[in-house]
Amino acid sequence: MSAVLPRIDLSNLRGDLFGGVTAAIVALPLALAFGVASGAGPVAGLYGAICVGLFASLFGGTPAQISGPTGPMTVVAATIFTAHAGNPAVAFTIVMLAGVLQVVFGALKFGRYINLVPYPVVSGFMSGIGVIIIVMQLDPLLGHDASRSVINALTVLPEYALHPNVGALAAGLVALGICLFMPKPVTQKVPATLIALIVGSLLVALVFSGAPVLGPIPSALPHLVMPDLDIRLLREVVPPALVLAALGSLDSLLTSLIADNITRTFHDSDRELVGQGIGNFVAGLLGGIPGAGATIRTLVNIRSGGRTPLSGATHALVLLAIALGLGPLAAHVPHAVLAGILIKVGIDVIDWSYLKRSPRLPVSSTVCMITVLLLTVFVDVITAVGVGTVMASMLFIKEMADLQSQSIRAITDHESGEDILSAGEKELFRQLRGRVLMLHLSGPMSFGAANEMTRRMSMAAKFEALVVDMQDVPTLDVSAALSLETIIQRAQQQGQQVVLAGIHKPVARTLLQIGLGRTLKDFDHYRTREQALARVASMFVPDDGN
In the chain, ranges of CATH 3.30.750.24 domains: 407-544
For residue 416, CA distances in Å to 426, 440, 486, 498 come to: 10, 11, 24, 20
* DSSP strands (E only) in 153-211: none
Over the stretch 311-360, which tens digit does the pLDDT of each residue have? 999 999 999 988 888 767 777 888 898 888 888 878 887 889 899 998 99
Burial (CB < 10 A; 0-12, 13-18, 19+), residue 461, is exposed
Kindly report the pTM of this predicted structure: 0.71
Residue 244 near residue 98, CB atoms below 8 Å? yes
Between helix 119-141 and helix 234-263 the angle, nearest 10°, is 90
Over the stretch 183-229, which tens digit does the pLDDT of each residue have? 988 877 777 877 888 899 899 988 888 889 877 777 777 888 888 87
75 C-beta neighbours (distance < 10 Å), count: 14
For residue 392, CA distances in Å to 35, 121, 350, 381 come to: 36, 8, 20, 16
Q: What is the dihedral of CA 239, 242, 244, 249, to 10 degrees?
A: -170
* Tens of each residue's pLDDT in the chain, 546 residues: 445 555 667 788 889 998 999 899 888 878 887 887 788 888 888 999 999 999 999 999 999 999 999 877 887 888 899 888 888 999 999 999 999 999 999 999 988 776 677 889 888 988 888 888 889 889 999 999 877 778 888 999 999 999 999 999 999 999 999 989 989 888 777 778 778 888 998 999 888 888 898 777 777 778 888 888 777 778 889 989 988 998 899 889 989 988 998 888 888 999 999 999 999 999 999 999 999 999 888 988 998 889 999 999 999 999 998 888 876 777 788 889 888 888 887 888 788 989 999 899 889 899 999 999 999 888 877 788 889 989 988 888 888 778 777 778 888 887 777 788 888 988 888 888 888 888 888 888 877 677 777 776 665 557 888 898 988 889 888 888 888 888 888 888 888 888 999 888 888 888 888 887 665 566 788 888 889 889 888 887 655 444
For residue 29, CA distances in Å to 196, 276, 319 come to: 17, 21, 11
Please tell me the CATH superfamily of domain 407-544, with its number: STAS domain (3.30.750.24)
Question: What is d(CA 77, CA 56) in angstroms, rounded to the nearest whole number?
Answer: 19
Tally of residues, the chain: 546
Pairing of strands 292-293, 525-526: unpaired
Backbone phi, psi, residue 466, to 5°: -125, 125
